[in-house]
Structure 1
Amino acid sequence: MRVGEQSTDPIDQVLGEVPLPAPLTPEDVRLAVRAVVVHTAEEWPTGPLCRNDGASYPCRLHRWGRRVLETHGLNERQIEALIRHGNPFVHVPFPFTATGPSAARPAGYSAQAARTNGLTARHPAARVVPPGVRPTTPGRPVTPPITAPRWPRAS
């Protein structure tokens, strides 16, 4: 069965497709990467099966992961590269703009999030102080380093 086709697995007929999240979040993209990498095809005499759950390939989670990554802006070649890489924890930037904006990207995606890379605004960086000079601002006291170990020595 090809990736875009509907499954003939009885459980897939009962449960249907996993729905896509309305606004994609970085967590959805992380889970989609894990889904496509963990639920890859494994060749068996009866045909390709999902490596994780033994369902006919592509299983529900693999198809969901592909749809999420395509919505996120990855093309087929990039998704196949993720699968070949084999690391389910590989980082995919959010928002993904390497191949341009996806027409399927949900309306919840804002231009302000693109300017800040989806991160919250941070405070200005602290002033760099040369070594040996301590800032005079009040703060937590710094404990001196311990010179002797706290645990008893084995003899």
Structure 2
Amino acid sequence: MIPVKVKEIAYDIMMNPVVLLIDEEELKALPIWVGHFEAHAIALALQGIRLDRPMTHDLLKSICDRLEAKLSMVVIVDVRDGTYFAELHMWHQGNKLVIDSRPSDAIALALRTETPIYLSEKVAQGTLAIKDLLSEEQQQELKELLESRRPNDFKKSLH
């Protein structure tokens, strides 16, 4: 399995939200298109914003906490016909549970619980080299962004 992190929510040319997962070396990227509500939930978690009332992923985290269920990892396990599939790997009362999930929900929960995210080897084969994904100018902007840790600037560079 390949560890990845969520770099940013970006938007494609049609303004569809894209979660950008990057490897630890920041050389490869996997864009996953998600819905607007899911993108919002992920963006809130990335920015550390907590709302007065729990959103669905906050509720799920609270339920896991109350039931003493621990999310140990999220794995993006497969892609079929352009659709990604994920699994939540959890522990509850000494039992390992593997629960099917949409990647966007799994990512939103992982960010809230500070749980590692992985790609299966099969999914990792679909990653793109950042140098092939972006123009030279965009690569330089991304390099500067990664060095400065200003994630909001990333959205601008992908348009």
When the two structures are superposed, what TM-score results if normalisation uses the length of structure 2?
Answer: 0.26
Q: Quick check: which one's strand share is greater? A: 2
Which structure would you say has the larger Rg?
1
When the two structures are superposed, what TM-score results if normalisation uses the length of structure 1?
Answer: 0.26
